[in-house]
Structure 1
Amino acid sequence: MKIAIVNGPNLNMLGKRNKDHYGTLTLDSINQLLVDTFKEHEFTFFQSNHEGALVDYIQTLDCDGLVINAAAYTHTSVAIRDALEIHSFLKVEVHLSDINNREDFRKTNFIKDVVNCSFFGKKEQSYIDAVNYLVEKNKFLK
């Protein structure tokens, strides 16, 4: 299975951010964790702090499933939402922190209605749960 992992702004700073919300792993460590945990699957990884770069990348995706942590753009970007809506492959939203139990502005979520499932609040385990979901659901689609 070809799985794209897309990460939004400030996730390149993991390991330096609030460890209570985001854990201690760097983004590279999370990516390696996925590769090591799901050896039989092919991953592509993309991170950008720029909304347009994320939209451009999402528009060109050719994969079986997507895990996206749009980060702050979850709460602000109709453009990312619209780019996600284009695709019919499975899409899963992840967040390291529990966005529903944080600041009020984080409760606005522009992408939740264009993804198949969401995992949040379990730090790097949210990514593992998302990939497990994609793998299990993909078995039934074939």
Structure 2
Amino acid sequence: MLLVLNGPNLNRLGLREPGVYGSQTLEDLERQCETWGAELGQSVTCRQSNYEGQLVEWVQDAEEHGFTGIVINPGALTHYSYALRDAIAGQRVPVVEVHISNVDAREEFRHQSVTAAVCRGKISGLGFLGYRLGMEALVEG
């Protein structure tokens, strides 16, 4: 059972900077993740929050709720949330960080991830496909 978490502003997919993030919506992404999960033999639960504390709690509670892996797009929290970093580091469920855009080709402040170092891996710049690859990495382990 996989958990897909999306952070701040990802609820605005399809509206926010379509030249960077594309025209598909969060609902499109969630449906795609559920389809990919089924293809991998996994149920998928998708959640999005604009609130750091909510994401921290979902990460902390993942194992207790039966999740075996987390795909997370922390959004802007990637670059400064030590609370989210510590939540990921402080639990046993493997995590893959994903980003729709190539964060290393964007503004300088986006080049630093405080969360990636405590994740199993990081995928950036492959659009929604990055989520599938993250799920595959967790399933195939």
TM-score (structure 1 length as normaliser): 0.92
* RMSD across aligned positions (CA): 1.0
Matches within 5 A, 1:96-107: 96-107=100-111
Task: Specify the SS of the correspondent of 2:8.
Answer: coil
Aligned residue identity for 1:57: W
Percent identity (aligned): 36
Aligned to 1:113: 117
| Structure 2 runs not aligned, ≥5 long | none
Asked if the contact 1:21/1:123 (under 8 Å) is kept, the reply is no
Structure 1: gaps of 5 or more residues: 138-142
Task: Give distance in 2, aligned partners of 1:118 and 1:23.
Answer: 20
Counterpart residue number, 1:46: 47
| Contact map agreement 1:6 1:45 (CA 8 A) in 2 | yes
CA–CA distance in structure 1, aligned partners of residues 57 and 36 of structure 2: 28
Alpha-carbon distance in 2 for matches of 1:41, 1:56: 22
**Mapped pair 1:85 → 2:89:** yes
- The alignment's TM-score, normalised by the length of structure 2, stands at 0.92
CA deviation string 1:13-55 (max 9, x = no partner): 0010112221221111111111112312111111110111111
What's 1:128 paired with? 132
SS, match of residue 38 in structure 1: helix
Q: Which ranges of 4 or more aligned residues in structure 1 deviate by more than 6 Å?
A: none
Instruction: Tell me the secondary structure at the aligned position of residue 58 of structure 2.
Output: helix
| Aligned partner letter, 1:134 | L
2:99 corresponds to: 95
Mapped partners of 2:70, 2:31: distance in 1 = 17
User: What CA deviation, in whole Å up to 9, does each residue of 1:93-115 have, x standing for no partner?
Assistant: 00000011100000111001100
